[in-house]
Amino acid sequence: MSTTAEEIYRRLHDWLLAHIRSFAIPDETTRRHFDLKRTHSLKVAEEIDRLGRALGLASRALLIARVIGLLHDAGRFEQYDRYRTYNDAASMDHGALGAAIVSSNGLLAAFDSSEAQVITQAILHHNKVALPENLSAEALFFLKLIRDADKLDIYRVVMENMAAADQALFKVLLPGNEDASEELSAILMRGDGVNYQLARNATDRLLMHVGWVFDINFRPTLRAIADRGCLETIAAALPPTPRVTQIITKARNHLAATLADGPPGLPAQS
Ligand SMILES: [Fe+2]
């Protein structure tokens, strides 16, 4: 009896939930951290499915994409359990940890070896500042897809946190009048990727999310960013300094130009 795509996905979904439950939850902070990444994992699986359908993927490719979305942050729970932080620089690379967990648990037995490699590489590289060289075209495609889906759901998290910013817990997230740092602004104006470690203040951290539009790979992702008002919501919370305004303008122009350029459903970058 052959296993359907839905059964394969369901088993991995159930594995992830059991894996999350296998860790002790000693306090409320831990519970909130785990809830955040559990919800994120499930939502990224939905986002990548939506993007995959918009790009016209066939059913097997859609299954691979959904599995990557579901498991891309499989390393987050052990990372938090061991180090009490999601900061990779202060703990370990959660992409590498996730790929190792997926391999050591034999989770990809339903996939042939090249499919399993594509999934593992996407998990391994999803959190790196830049795309690696020497990946196969197929591996690169799925890596670009997970990086887009991941960013879409992090925009959701950022926007939810901003909406809740009047609650004391999240106050730190919203910038005051501090300008963006010179170094980070220069990198964003070049359209380059930025590491979280470079962010000096709350303005920098939010501006990094603005700069993500330069690092989006597919037009349906940019369409979703525009339709959901991610850029505008974040822009409205930033102080209108010359540096900030320059970057927001560049991001708006990039979004508009890319969306206007050709039919929907084609990659934003070829
Ligand atoms: Fe991640």
Summarised one tens digit per residue, pLDDT across range 38-95 is 999 999 999 999 999 999 999 999 999 999 999 999 999 999 999 999 999 999 999 9
Residue 168: which pLDDT band, with cuts at 50, 70 and 90?
very low
| Distance of CA 245 from the midpoint of ligand 1 (Å) | 29
Full-model pTM: 0.92
| Distance of CA 234 from the midpoint of ligand 1 (Å) | 21
Nearest-Å Rg of the Cα atoms of the chain is 19
Structure tokens at 48: 């990548």
| Distance of CA 157 from the midpoint of ligand 1 (Å) | 13
Q: Is the pLDDT of residue 155 over 90?
A: yes
Structure tokens at 221: 């992702």
Hey, is 219 helix, strand or coil? Answer: helix
Contact between residue 127 and residue 178 where contact means Cβ atoms under 8 Å apart: no
| Distance of CA 51 from the midpoint of ligand 1 (Å) | 18
Per-domain boundaries in the chain: 5-147, 175-260
Domain at 5-147: CATH code: 1.10.3210
Structure tokens at 105: 């648990």
Reported residue count of the chain is: 270
Q: Is the pLDDT of residue 258 over 50?
A: yes
Q: Tens digit of pLDDT for each residue in 178-222?
A: 889 888 899 889 888 777 778 888 899 899 999 999 999 999 999
